């Protein structure tokens, strides 16, 4: 177990006491990077504030001040976000491997006619060679020696051989790349299923909801290895790595004498060691990680002009909030006894600042001496600098590197493995972050709440009231007694028997409730115009006609289709980058262990990884499948394919099962060269022929239409489409 502990943590913890040996160049660079990150964060702070306001609105349906007043709230924004996520992402995508289009043949022109001509020429040449080999040798009149007969090769034989050799090499290359692409598909699908505790589907649905609420969602890719420090991410693969790192940190504290005999950490260390020793094996995994940073924790370069692809950005920062113990476990730097880092709260706000901002970039910042142990969280910045090609790990206020600057942990074409999903992207010279669905619904949500709150107040004000003249009752307590009466309760008051209660009390006129003043239909009409959501989707009954409702539904579907296209493009970029990471980081042995012994995993350079084979998401594979449309289309296309020469029965059956959403394994069911089941049944039903030709008229095929296969055709589904009209009885009218 000690060896496993050493393998999982190869960086020894260094206590930062404020006097760490930092070169002036490094100190200057650290200060400049921290100022750059703070400047970018300050520049995007208004957008981050809008995101937090939208999160509040989507969570509770109103602003915090409105909720404090206990006002009426109907959370239609939260309902809209839930429905959008369900419509846009219903299942995990189907990833397919694509090959960069290339011309694989140097000699063959990819014309089947020229290939057939080359085959015929080669066959003729081979026959000529066989004839020459069988012919008797001839005598050379000059030397008098026997000479084998020379074949008379057809014209163009050498060119035909070159074409055939080129065809075989190109076809073999295509087959290898096709198997490599299939291997990559299976491997990537396996990596999606390995994501725990946040499974891939749950994470992507959360990402879609986050995009609808905060206008942008991010995915960061990383690779977790069995040995070495863990990547500084929020998500990890489910294994014992985090437990081992924590155990290492406790063991180092004990070795350095930081634990007392009665310390709680000592008991925790002993119990953790006992639990690990009781386990039969320690599970360590490696593979691709999909991390989902919060929208307010990704800080683009303030010069960025487009979130998709981070166009114009020269650097990018991802922010994490850790405890001092987590920083020690991840980076090997002990900040628990230091006062020279800026303490943060759980939500990401600063508690206090101990940083001396130096306006001059060339000035060396003054390293502060610690004044005592600080309580609070640490803000860690992972800063991608594209110009230098390095990644810097910094802590806000800390004057040392958390990890030495180095190249990114994973290789992707875009340098930084962070990708943004945006739905409502627009063109603006002043705003980088587009409005989210919740921001577009802000006024409608507030007006809906105000309308309902106003109706509540009006109804409260319109409750019946009565007045009576002073001294109308014999006692001053009598009005209170009447006012406090419960239903079906009687009370006695000081009044003469001749008096009537109507003569003493009078009804106070109150205004009636005019429902037109508080109608919410106009707000739902605005919702249809702004975000494409109609009232019927929220459960309300609209007064629109069926035609108007159908037109509105088509408009909503168009809006969803545009967002689905954006989601497919985003997932294709993520899949392509993830495939590049797997091609570089996974060994052939690991791939065969996951995919199988038939996996093809060639050794490729970075250039080949970036441009040879790539992954993308099949269009529309993340949405709810419309199986009825697919089956109907296959009914139209299937008969045409059945009559087309060269269509593989194996492929046809496999495609039919896929469209019917059946899990049939055609690898076990298909056998090459075997007749169809119908043909086998026909052969099995033929009468045996005992030694001679059949009698005239015994062959069912010779008996006309009544003697052939009389198996009735399967009934087809009726419908208005032309494909359903073949077996339908026409109307006599």
SS3 string, 430-451, reads CCCCCCCHHHHCHHHHHHHHHH
With vertex at residue 703, the alpha carbon angle to CA 701 and CA 708, rounded to the nearest 5 degrees, is: 45
Task: Determine the 3-state secondary structure of 645 from DSSP.
Answer: coil
With b meaning 16 or more CB within 10 Å and e meaning fewer, what string describes 366-388?
A: eebebeeebebbbbbbbbbbeee
Instruction: Say how far apart CA 421 and CA 574 lie, in whole Å.
Output: 10
**Nearby residues of 262 by Cβ (< 8 Å), 6 or more positions away:** none
CA distances 243 to 3, 194, 228, 334, 502, Å, are 15, 19, 14, 18, 81
Which of helix, strand or coil describes residue 224?
strand
Task: Count Cβ atoms below 10 Å from residue 664 Cβ, excluding itself.
Answer: 13
In terms of C-beta density within 10 A (0-12 exposed, 13-18 middle, 19 or more buried), how is residue 406 classed? Answer: exposed
C-beta neighbour count of 93 within 10 angstroms:
25
Structure confidence by residue, pLDDT tens digits, 164-213? 999 999 888 888 888 888 888 899 888 888 887 778 888 899 999 999 99
Question: At 731, is the secondary structure helix, strand, or coil?
Answer: coil
- Specify the pLDDT at position 137: 78
**pLDDT score for 13:** 45
Short-list 249, 252, 236, 215, CA closest to 426: 215
Over the chain (733 residues), the average pLDDT of each successive run of 10 is 38 45 85 94 94 93 91 90 85 81 85 89 88 79 76 87 91 86 88 82 91 93 71 55 57 58 56 55 68 93 93 94 85 74 82 47 42 69 93 90 90 90 88 92 90 89 84 78 82 80 83 82 80 61 53 54 84 89 86 88 66 68 61 82 78 77 64 69 62 54 51 50 43 39
Q: Which residue has the tokens 């009389």?
A: 710
Beta bridge partner(s), residue 315: 385
Query: Within 13 A of 341's CA, how many CA atoms are on the CB side?
Result: 31
Q: Are strands 333-334 and 14-15 parallel, antiparallel or unpaired?
A: parallel
d(CA 564, CA 158): 54
Q: How far is it, in rounded angstroms, from Cα 603 to Cα 100?
A: 18
Q: How many Å apart are CA 285 and CA 239, to the nearest integer?
A: 6
Measure the CA–CA gap between 722 and 725, rounded to whole angstroms. 5
pLDDT at 380: 93
* Cα angle 333-337-343, degrees, rounded to a multiple of 5: 85
What is the spatial distance between Cα 296 and Cα 347, in angstroms, rounded to a whole number?
11
State how far the Cα of 73 lies from the Cα of 538, in Å rounded to an integer: 15
Q: What is the pLDDT of residue 66?
A: 92
The predicted pLDDT at position 521 comes to 81
Strand ranges for 422-525 from DSSP E: 466-468, 505-507
């Amino acid at each position: 177990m000690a060896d496993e502990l050493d393998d999982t943590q190869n960086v020894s913890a260094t206590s930062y006491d404020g006097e760490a040996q930092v070169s002036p160049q490094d100190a200057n660079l650290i200060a400049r990077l921290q100022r750059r990150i703070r400047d970018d964060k300050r520049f995007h702070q208004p957008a981050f504030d809008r995101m937090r306001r939208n999160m509040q609105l989507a969570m509770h349906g109103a602003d915090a001040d409105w909720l404090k007043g206990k006002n009426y709230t109907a959370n239609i924004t939260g309902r809209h976000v839930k429905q959008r996520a369900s419509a846009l992402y219903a299942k995990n995508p189907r990833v397919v491997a694509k090959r960069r289009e290339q011309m694989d043949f140097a000699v063959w022109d990819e014309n089947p006619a020229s290939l057939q001509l080359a085959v015929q020429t080669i066959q003729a040449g081979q026959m000529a060679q066989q004839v020459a080999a069988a012919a008797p040798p001839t005598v050379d009149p000059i030397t008098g020696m026997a000479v084998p007969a020379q074949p008379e090769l057809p014209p163009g034989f050498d060119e035909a051989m070159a074409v055939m050799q080129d065809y075989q090499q190109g076809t073999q290359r295509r087959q290898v790349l096709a198997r490599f692409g299939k291997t990559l598909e299976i491997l990537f699908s396996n990596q999606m299923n390995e994501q725990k505790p946040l499974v891939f589907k749950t994470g992507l649905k959360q990402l879609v909801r986050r995009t609808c609420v905060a206008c942008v969602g991010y995915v960061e890719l990383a690779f977790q290895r069995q040995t070495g420090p863990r990547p500084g991410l929020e998500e990890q693969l489910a294994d014992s790595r985090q437990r081992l790192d924590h155990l290492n940190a406790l063991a180092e504290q004990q070795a350095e004498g930081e634990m007392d005999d009665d310390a709680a950490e000592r008991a925790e260390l002993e119990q953790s060691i006992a639990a690990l020793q009781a386990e039969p094996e320690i599970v360590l995994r490696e593979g691709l990680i999909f991390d989902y940073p919060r929208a307010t924790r990704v800080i683009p370069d303030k010069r960025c002009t487009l979130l998709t692809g981070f166009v114009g950005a020269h650097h990018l920062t991802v922010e994490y909030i850790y405890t001092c113990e987590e920083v020690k476990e991840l980076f090997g730097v002990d900040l628990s006894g230091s006062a020279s880092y800026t303490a943060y709260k759980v939500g990401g706000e600063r508690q206090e600042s101990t940083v001396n901002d130096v306006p001059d970039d060339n000035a060396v910042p003054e390293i502060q001496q610690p004044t005592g142990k600080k309580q609070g969280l640490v803000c860690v910045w992972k800063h991608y600098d594209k110009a230098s090609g390095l990644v810097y790990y910094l802590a806000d206020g800390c004057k040392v590197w958390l990890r030495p600057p180095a190249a990114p942990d994973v290789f992707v074409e875009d340098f930084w493995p962070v990708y943004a999903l945006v739905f409502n992207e627009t063109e603006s010279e002043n705003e980088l972050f587009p409005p989210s669905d919740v921001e577009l619904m802000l006024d409608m949500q507030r007006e809906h709440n105000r309308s309902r709150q106003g109706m509540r107040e009006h109804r409260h004000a319109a409750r019946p009231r009565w007045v009576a003249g002073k001294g109308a009752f014999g006692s001053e307590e009598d009005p209170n007694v009447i006012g406090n009466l419960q239903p079906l309760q009687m009370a006695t008051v000081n009044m003469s028997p001749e008096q009537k209660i109507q003569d003493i009390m009078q009804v106070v006129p109150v205004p009636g409730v005019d429902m037109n003043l508080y109608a919410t239909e106009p707000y739902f009409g605005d919702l249809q115009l702004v975000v494409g959501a109609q009232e019927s989707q929220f459960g309300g009954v609209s007064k629109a006609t069926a035609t108007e409702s159908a037109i509105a539904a088509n408009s909503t579907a168009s809006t969803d289709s545009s967002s689905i296209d954006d989601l497919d493009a985003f997932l294709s970029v993520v899949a392509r980058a993830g495939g590049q990471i797997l091609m570089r980081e996974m060994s052939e042995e690991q791939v065969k262990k996951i995919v199988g012994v038939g996996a093809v995993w060639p050794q490729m350079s970075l250039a080949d990884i970036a441009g040879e084979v790539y992954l993308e998401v099949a269009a529309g594979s993340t949405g709810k499948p419309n199986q009825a449309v697919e089956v109907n289309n296959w009914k139209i296309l299937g008969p045409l394919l059945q009559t087309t020469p060269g269509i593989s029965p194996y492929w046809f059956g496999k495609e039919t099962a896929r469209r019917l959403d059946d899990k049939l394994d055609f690898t076990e069911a298909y056998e090459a060269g075997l007749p169809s089941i119908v043909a086998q049944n026909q052969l099995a039903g033929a009468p045996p022929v005992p030694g001679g030709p059949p009698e005239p008229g015994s062959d069912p095929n010779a008996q006309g239409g009544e003697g052939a296969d009389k198996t009735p055709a399967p009934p087809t589904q009726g419908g208005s489409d032309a494909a359903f009209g073949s077996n339908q009885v026409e109307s006599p009218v």
